[in-house]
Amino acid sequence: MNVRESARFAVRGVTANPLRTALTTLGILIGVAAVIVLVAVGNGSSAAVRESLSRLGSNTLTVQASQGGTGGRAGGFGGFGGFGGGPGGVSSGTQTRTAELTLDDAEALTDATLAPHVLRVAPRVSASSVTATYDGATHTVSTFLGTSPSYLAINDDSVQKGEALTAEDWTGRRRVALVGSTVAEDLVGGDGLDVVGKTVQFNGIAFTVVGVLTDKGSTGPQDEDDRVLAPLTAVQDTLTGYGSLSAISVQAKDADSVETAQAEIEDVLNSRHHVTSQDADYSIQNPTSLLTAVTSTSQTFTVLLASVAAISLLVGGIGVMNIMLVTVTERTREIGIRKAIGARRGDIVGQFLLEAVLLSLFGGLMGVLVGLVGSRFEIVGVQPVVSASSVALAFGVAVGTGLFFGLYPANRAASLRPIEALRYE
Amino acid sequence: MTGVRVPRPVLDLRGVTKVFGAGDTAVHALGGVDLVVDRGDYVAVMGASGSGKSTLMNIVGCLDVPTRGRYLLDGVDTRRLDEGRQALVRNRKIGFVFQSFNLIPRTSAQSNVELPLAYAGVKLAQRRERAAAALARVGLADRGHHLPSELSGGQQQRVAIARAIVTEPVLLLADEPTGALDSRSTSEVLDLFDDVSAGGRTILVITHEEEVAERAHRVIRFRDGHIVSDERRAPRGAHAVVTEGAA
Ligand SMILES: Nc1ncnc2c1ncn2[C@@H]1O[C@H](COP(=O)(O)OP(=O)(O)OP(=O)(O)O)[C@@H](O)[C@H]1O
Ligand SMILES: [Mg+2]
């Protein structure tokens, strides 16, 4: 008997009980769709992070304080994306044994003779848990950054309405602020642009909003428009105190001089902090190291998601096996009849194996369909990016699952003794 | 055996014993049966319930193996056959008819009749044709597309007979084929058997009914796993026009 014959019997077997087939198929469907969607989410979020890193500019460096002596430039990417500041901000400012980056450090980096390849320098402090209040509306700001006007140029920021920060704002320690659109919309409603010129309370301290920042979009779950920028001097006066900086953003002259600029920064800071590169109390993130770190993290993330999905595929496979065992038991008599009229072992194995594969094939196809459709929607702020290999893999594994989990029931059916199968009630 | 030069027998059982279970609970279903059935014969097997008739048929049909003894089917020792060859023998040499019809559910009469041909590797077009011819022979030419559940018991049994004869086996085995049928269906089935017998095939039919046994040429009676009588009522191949070369 040929494969087409077996296939016909298998199709008949599968269609004989549509509800059961649908439910069994659903297990595989969910597994395959989960693999496709979750891998796509993983891919999408790493693509988003990479994109925002590239928007950050390929010639920006971030200097952060690290624990003295642990040194090296291999530090993680705590403030990834350039926002968010150091852990816990600097509001306490009195931790012992924590190295400090000071305004003088930042100042020193602007020295044209010591660091000729440095174009711009922006010291940063971040204030944590800042709540903005305006006219009864409140908003918890996810990133409140005190910095210098040059930060806008380094971070490729602009204002869509109002004025940017100026040197006078800095020197005059003016309590002015630029807000991102998320903050603006929450405070005044509408498109938020009316917030310009208003006085907003940040943790009870009044700042005048002078401009609304141009939208950055979001990086994965992080909303980059949920932020406030103010002159560092004023933020230190009011919210953070005069402790260490969270970080210093540095822009090299161009992409080619990033390495040189980094070496210059190390020289300047080493001599100021009386350390060597081996026991440096700060770390410098350049775009490449950041990208490497982010990529490996998002790969871990993707693998994690994929394994969760793979488990659900496995569960689907067990469902197929379960239903095939039931089918074999139910159709014991039929198997006996088939054997009595001359079915060979291979014929029976083929029929039931094909039936199992048919179930998983159908489930796999539907799963691919559902997965592809599901990946068109934004999921937790991430636009999923479907990878062809995950589709092929999920589908292949689904069919393989059918084969694997169908093998045992099919063999069990085939090894029934004809007389016992015929006598089965 | 008889000195007359007859072709080799279809069935040749020598000291066939079947024991179910072991120890105290062992059941001796067959206690050393010797039986030779020649080609073209029409044999009825009778006996009380539990006397071992079905057990005998299962062994003859290669559905079960004897505990002891030799069984030659068409000259071939069945103990030498592996599982695959047994399947082949069942497919090519034997047609089964059961008391409970045993059609495959949710499968049309036509497909049921085609099934042995499918397992024999016959091409689709030829299979269709031969199955339709077999159905026509049992008088169900117009019922090919019906499911077993849409047919009466008598019709189902006739489909089963069509399925049993479609491969033109040398041996037709029937275990109480009329046990579930009324007298009219019974006589239809028996007429078909006469027809098959006239075609030169060997028939072994198990029955409780005298009416069925009357049609046979030879009647064997069983008691407690032994043959107690063996009576010829008509010459072998009484209906047959030609007996050789038909298989
Ligand atoms: N699989 C089995 N396991 C144990 N005992 C069995 C088995 N099959 C048959 N027997 C026993 O063997 C004996 C013969 O059974 P068999 O089915 O051959 O009788 P039978 O002559 O066909 O009876 P009936 O006319 O009622 O069909 C019985 O005692 C039965 O209980
Ligand atoms: Mg019986």
SS3 annotation, chain A: CCHHHHHHHHHHHHHCCHHHHHHHHHHHHHHHHHHHHHHHHHHHHHHHHHHHHHHHCCCEEEEEECECCCCCCCCCCCCHHHCCCCCCCCCCCCCCCECCCCHHHHHHHCCCCCCCCEEEEEEEEEECCEEEEECCEEEEECEEEEECCHHHHHCCCCEEEECCCCHHHHHCCCCEEEECHHHHHHHHCCCCHHHCCCEEEECCEEEEEEEEECCCCEECCEECCCEEEEEHHHHHHHHHCCCCCCEEEEEECCHHHHHHHHHHHHHHHHHHHCCCCCCCCEEEECHHHHHHHHHHHHHHHHHHHHHHHHHHHHHHHHHHHHHHHHHHHHCHHHHHHHHHCCCCHHHHHHHHHHHHHHHHHHHHHHHHHHHHHHCCCCECCECCCCCHHHHHHHHHHHHHHHHHHHHHHHHHHHCCCHHHHHHCC
Q: Tokens at residue A267, please?
A: 């020289």
Annotated domain spans of chain B:
39-65+83-232
- From A280, A310, A333, the end of a domain falls on A280
- Structural domain includes residue A257: yes
Q: Count CB neighbours of A55 within 10 A.
A: 16
Q: Is B83 on the interface with A (CB under 8 A)?
A: yes
Instruction: Give yes or no: residues A308 and A271 share one domain.
Output: no
Query: Is the CB of A345 less than 8 angstroms away from the CB of B61?
Result: no
Instruction: Give yes or no: residues A173 and A228 share one domain.
Output: yes
- Of B105, B119, B167, nearest to A343 by CB-CB distance is B119
- So what's the pLDDT on residue B102? 94
Query: Is the CB of B118 less than 8 angstroms away from the CB of A334?
Result: no
Q: Which of A309, A423, A279, A242 is nearest to A42 (CA)?
A: A309
Question: Which helix H or strand E contains B237, and what residues bound it?
Answer: none
Strand partners, B30: B18
Instruction: Give yes or no: residues A262 and A301 share one domain.
Output: no
The number of domains in chain A is 2
ipTM, 2 dp:
0.91
Residue A58: partners with Cβ closer than 8 Å, 6 or more residues away? A255, A258, A287
Instruction: Give yes or no: residues A253 and A304 share one domain.
Output: no
Instruction: Give yes or no: residues A264 and A305 share one domain.
Output: no
- From A256, A280, A304, the end of a domain falls on A280
Nearest ligand to the CA of B51 is: 1
Instruction: Give yes or no: residues A117 and A259 share one domain.
Output: yes
- So what's the pLDDT on residue A49? 78
Which atom, in ligand 1's list, is nearest to the CA of B57?
18
Instruction: Give yes or no: residues A38 and A116 share one domain.
Output: no
Instruction: Give yes or no: residues A263 and A306 share one domain.
Output: no
Instruction: Give yes or no: residues A104 and A22 share one domain.
Output: no
Span between the terminal Cα atoms of chain A, in Å: 28
Strand pairing category for B42-47 and B218-223 = parallel
- Structural domain includes residue A213: yes
- CA B56 / ligand 2 centre spacing (Å): 9
- Structural domain includes residue A60: no
What is the value of pTM for the model shown? Answer: 0.69
Instruction: Give yes or no: residues A155 and A184 share one domain.
Output: yes
| Rounded-to-integer distance, Cα B34 and Cα B36, Å | 7
| Rounded-to-integer distance, Cα A87 and Cα B21, Å | 78
Nearest CA in chain A to B94: A341
Residues in chain A, pLDDT under 50: 69-97
Instruction: Give yes or no: residues A148 and A259 share one domain.
Output: yes
Does residue B186 sit in helix, strand or coil?
Answer: helix
Q: Which of B222, B217, B180, B225 is nearest to B41 (CA)?
A: B217
Query: Is the CB of B119 less than 8 angstroms away from the CB of A334?
Result: no
| Rounded-to-integer distance, Cα A193 and Cα A189, Å | 9
Query: A109, exposed or middle or buried, with CB in 10 Å at 0-12, 13-18, 19+?
Result: buried
| Rounded-to-integer distance, Cα B161 and Cα B76, Å | 25
Fold of B39-65+83-232: Rossmann fold (3.40.50)
Nearest-CA distance from A409 to chain B in Å? 19
Residue B50, ligand 1, Cβ within 6 A: yes
- So what's the pLDDT on residue A1? 57
Residue A29: partners with Cβ closer than 8 Å, 6 or more residues away? A316, A363, A364, A366, A367, A370
Q: Which of A27, A92, A66, A13 is nearest to A370 (CA)?
A: A27
- Structural domain includes residue A95: no
| Rounded-to-integer distance, Cα B79 and Cα B71, Å | 8
Q: Count CB neighbours of A274 within 10 A.
A: 8
**Crossing angle for the helix pair A18-56 and A3-15, to the nearest 10 degrees:** 100
Residue B54, ligand 1, Cβ within 6 A: yes
What are the backbone dihedrals phi and psi of residue B206, each rounded to the nearest 5 degrees, phi first? -95, 135
- So what's the pLDDT on residue A75? 36
A136 contacts A200 by C-beta, under 8 angstroms: no
- From A280, A305, A335, the end of a domain falls on A280
Residue corresponding to tokens 């039919």: B205
Does residue B98 sit in helix, strand or coil?
Answer: coil
Give the range of the structural domain holding residue A200, as residue numbers without chain letter. 100-280
Instruction: Give yes or no: residues A109 and A255 share one domain.
Output: yes
Each of the 247 residues of chain B gets a pLDDT tens digit; together they read: 555 555 789 999 999 999 999 888 999 999 999 999 999 999 999 999 999 999 999 999 999 999 999 999 988 999 889 989 999 999 999 999 999 999 998 889 999 999 999 999 999 999 999 999 999 999 999 999 999 999 999 999 999 999 999 999 999 999 999 998 999 999 999 999 999 999 999 999 999 999 999 999 999 999 999 999 999 988 876 654 444 444 3
Does residue B43 sit in helix, strand or coil?
Answer: strand
Query: Is the CB of A341 less than 8 angstroms away from the CB of B83?
Result: no
| Rounded-to-integer distance, Cα A131 and Cα A129, Å | 6
Q: Which of B45, B56, B49 is nearest to B18 (CA)?
A: B56
B231 contacts B206 by C-beta, under 8 angstroms: no
